Amino acid sequence: MTGPRRSGSQPKGRPGPRLSGRDSASAKRRGGAPLSRLDRLAGLLVTVSGFSQPLDTLLSTFFRSHPSLGPRERSFLAEATYSAVRSWSAFDKILGETGFVSGGPSTDRRRALMAAAVSSGYDRIVSELSEGERAWLTECLRRRDSLEPASARLSVPQWIWSDWEDQLGLAETLALAQAMDRPAELFVRANVLKTTPEALMSDLKEAGIRARISETVPECLELEGKPPLSRFAPFVRGDFEVQDLGSQLLARLAAPKRGGFVVDFCAGAGGKTLALGALMRNTGRLYAMDRSAARLARLKPRLARSGLSNVWPIGISGARDERLLRLSGKADLVLVDAPCTGLGTLRRNPDLKWRQTPQSLSEMQTLQASIMDSAARLCAPGGRLVYATCSTSPLENEVQVNAFLGRHPDFERLSAQSELARAGIECPASWRAFTPEGDLRLWPHRTPADGFFGSVLRRKMLIRGKMGTENEVTTHALEGPLEE
């Protein structure tokens, strides 16, 4: 459930004014001299300021167009850009309140100075600043720490802040906003078809990468720092995949059985598809479906590395696709990792808080309901529909599930806590991970995971009575223990 896939409609605007061409002039070469890293950052932030596309996509495009940049400068630019986006509205407020003497640095360079100081530290850039810039930046950093209200200081749009406060109260909302303001931890999933978590730990240690095995999900390892992994031999041979703890926990909640008939209805690039396939021990049949051919194309190299042979990627045209109709009523499990606002992933995708709006949230709800209705048709009697998002909004989560159950009385909600226990998974009590209705709810200030929601719904069994009538019965007593 990555942020860019869930970005919704195009942004309706962005906080603060777009920087003018005159302001961005300092980001160009001066008299033929090489561009400094701060001026290059200033120019990059001008490009970012429109928030017209996912931040990771924009950075990838930028780095491809600047192949001469070394690893250190790339790291500096990426980290500073993420810092700027996390604090965009706070920086806007400070820039509006702290003027500079005539002839001083342009607005875009001043934003770059703040971003670099926050991401790298003032001491690491001070030698690149003029005397006037040093005094100005020191004052800006002081003001940033004292901005009020807290929503302004932590750069959270008011509509998102109010939603969090309605659910959590002020103290926890502050803790959540602070957690969202920090970079996310790095988790990987050991591919148990090829290795073990312990063997992967040994490989990582040999490469100088420190890691520890999760106490919650046995295949999950948390890595220290952000080591480069794309050319790491165990990654190339498919021993692991990068995947958030919450996403791995969701695959465990889905609990696919060996030999089962499983559909990943919104597979995207296939992170959960691969996790489901491994839990099925490469048996049964697993369909990875998505309307985006480009997203499914990204699954193919991952699938080749994984060693899985029970996965069939299928591009579908919509709810009435003939291939969906042929699978109607046949699936033991359907996972709906639904498109959503992605507001639970702001640690990784801070641009989403500027790209999403109440209107895009409303549009997403309509799409989610349609997807759930389509996916429900695939469930066999006794089959399960697992609905998930990486959103913090109850409108995309509990409200969506309750509305679905109202439309589909032939489905019932199961306890996520009980379903995880059946799979051998127990969440720490400090996570407070389950809602009163019985769904899974992960918050980044309570857990190391991104914000996730998961609900397990089961189609009721039908029995035929004496006169040929069909009666619904719940299946709690009809289902045995989880297969080993």
pLDDT in tens, 375-402: 999 999 999 999 999 999 999 999 999 9
**Distance separating alpha carbons of residues 259 and 338, to the nearest angstrom:** 25
Q: From the CB of residue 310, how many other CB atoms can be counted at a distance below 10 Å?
A: 18
Give the tokens for residue 343: 């507001």
| pLDDT tens, position by position, 72-86 | 999 999 999 999 999
Amino acid identity, position 15 = P
Query: Do the beta carbons of residue 184 and residue 244 sit within 8 Å?
Result: yes
Q: Which residues pair with 337 in a beta bridge?
A: 388
Reading the chain (484 residues) residue by residue, the pLDDT tens digits are: 444 343 333 444 445 434 333 344 443 444 455 789 999 999 999 999 999 999 999 999 999 999 999 999 999 999 999 999 999 999 999 998 876 655 567 889 999 999 999 999 999 999 999 999 999 999 999 999 899 999 999 999 999 999 999 999 999 999 999 999 999 999 999 999 999 999 999 999 999 999 999 999 999 999 999 899 989 999 999 999 999 999 999 999 999 999 999 999 999 999 999 999 999 999 999 999 999 888 899 999 999 999 999 999 999 987 778 888 899 999 999 999 999 999 999 999 999 999 999 999 999 999 999 999 999 999 999 999 999 999 999 999 999 999 999 999 999 999 999 999 999 999 999 999 999 999 999 999 999 999 999 999 999 986 555 444 445 444 333 333 223 2
182 to 4, 82, 364, 382: CA distances (angstroms): 18, 10, 26, 42
Percent of the chain surpassing pLDDT 70: 87
Question: Encoding tokens for residue 186?
Answer: 């790095």
Count of beta carbons in the 10 Å neighbourhood of residue 370: 12
How far is 393 from 453, CA to CA, in rounded Å? 10
Please list, in sequence order, all residues whose beta carbon lies within 8 angstroms of the beta carbon of residue 291, skipping any fewer than 6 positions away: 315, 316, 317, 318
Average pLDDT in the chain = 89
46 within 8 A of 390, measured Cβ to Cβ: no
d(CA 211, CA 330): 41
Tell me the whole-structure pTM to 2 decimals. Answer: 0.88
Task: Match 């159950």 to its residue by tokens.
Answer: 405
The alpha carbon dihedral of 174, 122, 450, 373 has a sign of positive
Instruction: At 128, list the tokens.
Output: 């690149």
Residues 6+ apart with CB under 8 A from 425: 216, 217, 249, 252, 253
Of 96, 84, 90, 101, give the one whose Cα is nearest residue 46: 84
Instruction: Decide the pairing of beta strands 311-315 and 411-414.
Output: unpaired
User: Residue 391: which residues within 8 A CB-CB, separation 6 or more?
Assistant: 6, 340, 341, 342, 343, 344, 397, 451, 453
Instruction: Calculate ∠ Cα 30-34-40, nearest 5°.
Output: 85
Residues 6+ apart with CB under 8 A from 290: 266, 267, 268, 296, 313, 315, 316
Q: Are strands 285-290 and 261-264 parallel, antiparallel or unpaired?
A: parallel
What Rg value do the Cα atoms of the chain yield, rounded?
Answer: 24
> How would you class 240 by CB atoms within 10 Å of its CB: exposed for 0-12, middle for 13-18, buried for 19 or more?
buried
